[in-house]
Amino acid sequence: MPFGYHGCYLRIDASNGTVERLPIAETVLRQFIGGSGLGVRLLLDDGCADLDALHPRAPLIFAFSPLVGSSLTTSAKFAVVSKSPLTDRVNDALASSGFAVAGKNCGCDAIVIVGRAPELSVLIIDDGEVRLESAADVAGMTCQDTGARLRTRLGAPFRIAAIGPAGEKGVRYASISHDGRHAGRGGSGAVMGAKNIKAIAVRGTHRVEWAHPRDMTAISKDLSQRSFGPATAKYRELGTAGNLLTFNRFGALPTRNFQSGEFADAENLSVEQLSATREKTRDSCVACTIGCEHIYTIGGPHLRHGYGGHAGSGGGVRVEYESLFALGSLCGIGDADVVLRAVRRCDELGIDTISTGGTIAFAMECVERGWLDGPWLTFGSGGALLRAIELIGSREGLGDLLAEGSRRAAHAIGHGSIAIAPQVKGLEIPGYEPRALQTMALGFAVGARGADHNRSGAYEVDFSEKVDRRNVTLDAVRHAIDTEDRAALMDSLIVCKFLRGVFEDFHDAAATMLRSVTGWDVTAAELRDIATRIVATKREFNLLAGWTQAEDTLPDRFLTTPLPEDAAAELSRERLAALVAEYHRQRRW
293 forms beta bridges with: 283
Per-residue confidence band for 302, with pLDDT thresholds at 50, 70 and 90 = very low
How far is the C-alpha of 380 from the C-alpha of 378, rounded, in Å? 6
- pLDDT of 497 > 80? The answer is no
- pLDDT of 119 > 70? The answer is yes
Out of 226-240, 359-373, 572-586, pick the least confident: 226-240
488 contacts 183 by C-beta, under 8 angstroms: no
The reported pLDDT for the residue numbered 289 is 74
Q: pLDDT tens digits, residue range 138-156?
A: 999 999 999 999 999 999 9
Average pLDDT over residues 521-535: 98
Q: Give the residue, 497 or 78, on which the prediction is more confident.
A: 78
The reported pLDDT for the residue numbered 301 is 44
The amino acid that residue 341 corresponds to is R
How far is the C-alpha of 498 from the C-alpha of 235, rounded, in Å? 8
Question: CATH class for domain 8-203?
Answer: alpha beta
Per-residue confidence band for 499, with pLDDT thresholds at 50, 70 and 90 = confident
Average pLDDT over residues 2-10: 96
The reported pLDDT for the residue numbered 484 is 97
The reported pLDDT for the residue numbered 513 is 95
How far is the C-alpha of 446 from the C-alpha of 476, rounded, in Å? 14
Closest CA to 389 of 439, 339, 430: 339
Instruction: Give the contacts of 550 (CB within 8 A, at least 6 positions apart).
Output: none
The reported pLDDT for the residue numbered 306 is 33
The reported pLDDT for the residue numbered 315 is 63
How far is the C-alpha of 381 from the C-alpha of 333, rounded, in Å? 7
How far is the C-alpha of 252 from the C-alpha of 244, rounded, in Å? 9
Average pLDDT over residues 222-240: 81
228-428 and 8-203 share a CATH fold: no
Residues above pLDDT 70, as percent of the chain: 97
The reported pLDDT for the residue numbered 227 is 85
Q: pLDDT tens digits, residue range 167-206?
A: 999 999 999 999 888 998 999 999 999 999 999 999 999 9
Average pLDDT over residues 385-411: 98
Closest CA to 243 of 526, 440, 1, 85: 440
The reported pLDDT for the residue numbered 312 is 39
- pLDDT of 307 > 50? The answer is no
19 forms beta bridges with: 12
3 contacts 519 by C-beta, under 8 angstroms: yes
- pLDDT of 585 > 60? The answer is yes
Closest CA to 72 of 528, 502, 487: 502
Helix axes 476-493, 438-446, angle to 10 degrees: 60
CA distances from 547 to 93, 136, 165, 543 (A): 20, 39, 31, 5
Domain ranges of the chain: 8-203, 228-428, 438-587
Average pLDDT over residues 420-434: 98
DSSP state of 429: P
- pLDDT of 539 > 50? The answer is yes
Per-residue confidence band for 304, with pLDDT thresholds at 50, 70 and 90 = very low
> What letters, b where the CB count within 10 A reaches 16 and e where it falls short, cover 327-355?
bbbbbbbbbbbbbbbbbbbbbbbbbbbbb
Q: Give the residue, 497 or 92, on which the prediction is more confident.
A: 92
The reported pLDDT for the residue numbered 309 is 33
The reported pLDDT for the residue numbered 310 is 35
N-to-C CA span, the chain:
34
Q: How far is CA 75 from the centre of its chain?
A: 16
How far is the C-alpha of 240 from the C-alpha of 223, rounded, in Å? 21
Average pLDDT over residues 500-517: 93
DSSP state of 240: G
253 contacts 261 by C-beta, under 8 angstroms: yes
Q: Is 83 helix (H, G, I), strand (E, B) or coil?
A: strand
424 forms beta bridges with: 427
Q: How far is CA 361 from the centre of its chain?
A: 20
Q: pLDDT tens digits, residue range 433-472?
A: 999 999 999 999 999 999 999 999 999 999 999 999 999 9
Per-residue confidence band for 335, with pLDDT thresholds at 50, 70 and 90 = very high
| Phi, psi (deg, nearest 5) at residue 260 | -150, 160
Burial class (CB in 10 A: 0-12, 13-18, 19+), 313: middle
CA distances from 489 to 100, 461, 548, 586 (A): 18, 18, 25, 19
Out of 222-226, 321-325, 381-385, 392-396, pick the least confident: 222-226
pTM (2 d.p.): 0.95
Burial class (CB in 10 A: 0-12, 13-18, 19+), 241: buried
Per-residue confidence band for 496, with pLDDT thresholds at 50, 70 and 90 = confident
200 forms beta bridges with: 123, 161
Question: CATH class for domain 228-428?
Answer: mainly alpha
Alpha helices in 131-212 (DSSP H): 143-154, 165-169, 188-194
The CATH number of domain 438-587 is 3.40.50.2300: no
Average pLDDT over residues 278-291: 77
Q: Reduced to 3 DSSP states, what percent helix, strand and coil does the chain have, rounded to the nearest 5?
A: 45, 15, 40
